[in-house]
Amino acid sequence: MKDEISCSFEQAALNHVLDARRSSVEQRWNWLCEAMEFAKNVARARAQRGQITLDANLQVWWSPELERCWRERMDS
């Protein structure tokens, strides 16, 4: 790709903050819920492929073993 980026990374980060400040509490809450749902789905899909997902502190957040235990519990 040779298209120029319309703004810098720093400007994009600032735009993100400004957009959040203009959002209502309900809009921010909905965004957070959607982000958490997306993260859960990605982690579970990775576990189903035999991969682990780490959190920001490099601790295991989800794994194939946790996925197996979760499925067993939900099935019983």
- Single pTM value for the model: 0.68
Q: Where are the beta strands (DSSP E) in the chain?
A: 53-54, 60-62
pLDDT band at 20 (very low <50, low <70, confident <90, very high): confident
Angle at 40 between CA 75 and CA 19, to 5 degrees: 150
Is residue 1 scored above 70 in pLDDT? no
Q: What is the pLDDT of residue 76?
A: 85
Find the mean pLDDT for residues 24-40: 94
Is residue 5 scored above 90 in pLDDT? no
Buried b (16+ CB within 10 A) or exposed e, 40-59: eeebbebbeeeeebeeeeee
| 56, 60, 64, 68: CA torsion to nearest 10 | -110
